Amino acid sequence: MTIGTVRERLRAATSAAHARLHRHPGLSAAAAGVIDIDGYRALLMRLYGFHRAVDAVMGAHSSLTLGAGAARSNLLESDLDALGIPRDRLAALPLCATLSPLTGAPRALGARYVVEGSALGGARIARALTPLLQPFNGAGCRFFSNDGGRTRVWTDLLADLEALHGEPEQEQAAVDAAVETFHTFEDWMQDWAPASVKAPSRGSLLENGVWD
């Protein structure tokens, strides 16, 4: 697989934050398949507060030329619905209010890189959740299973990002926005874990084939 120049820069600039998120108690428990159903619902609700805020900011950005694919917050709504959380409870959840403004297309693309990139790792998390979601006939996993036409979204996004190459200021704006978005997400998730979730040991992550 050839990795484009701009993507390489984005990866390098965000790899430390990405690695830290692998150790987040809720995300790592989900990735290791050791989260219980209450913890999973609570994790999705916390993620919803971030993704709903991001989607609102992105939706206001007319210069983003992305292909089809349901907004990530819509997938969370569908999962929470399948797991029995009523819509009025979702409407009352706190939303992340600290997202940086996305002035200009390069910044919007950089932030979108983080949101869409998180769906790539999600496919693995989805596999680990299969036993947990058996009583729901496998429903409740659209967000992590990368559902909603996201392959096309990711390909289109990478093409838009690579088009910034050769425009140093625009490239830098995309990288800065990606780093900021990762940090905002980390802050949003930090120190947060439902009572029922304990961080899994590294051993259990390896046993479940989460890490390469």
Calculate the CA dihedral of residues 170, 171, 173, 178 and round it to 10 degrees: 150
| Alpha-helix runs per DSSP H in the chain | 5-22, 25-31, 37-59, 72-82, 87-91, 105-128, 150-162, 168-189, 202-207
Report the distance separating Cα 86 and Cα 92, nearest Å. Answer: 11
Q: Does 127 bind ligand HEM (CB under 6 A)?
A: no
The mark string for 15-54 relative to ligand HEM (x by CB under 6 A, - otherwise) is ---x--xx----xx--x-----------------------
Query: Binding ligand HEM by CB under 6 A: which of 58, 174, 193, 210?
Result: 210
Stretch in the footprint of ligand HEM (CB under 6 A) among 65-73, 100-108, 115-123, 193-201: 115-123
Nearest to 202 by CA among 211, 193, 192, 191: 211
Nearest to 141 by CA among 89, 186, 81, 193: 81
**Nearest distance, CB of residue 43 and ligand HEM, angstroms:** 11
Instruction: Between 110 and 140, name the residue whose CB sits nearer to ligand HEM.
Output: 110
**Nearest distance, CB of residue 86 and ligand HEM, angstroms:** 26
Nearest to 158 by CA among 24, 10, 19: 10
Residues near ligand HEM, by CB under 6 A:
7, 11, 18, 21-22, 27-28, 31, 113-114, 117-118, 120-121, 124-125, 185, 210
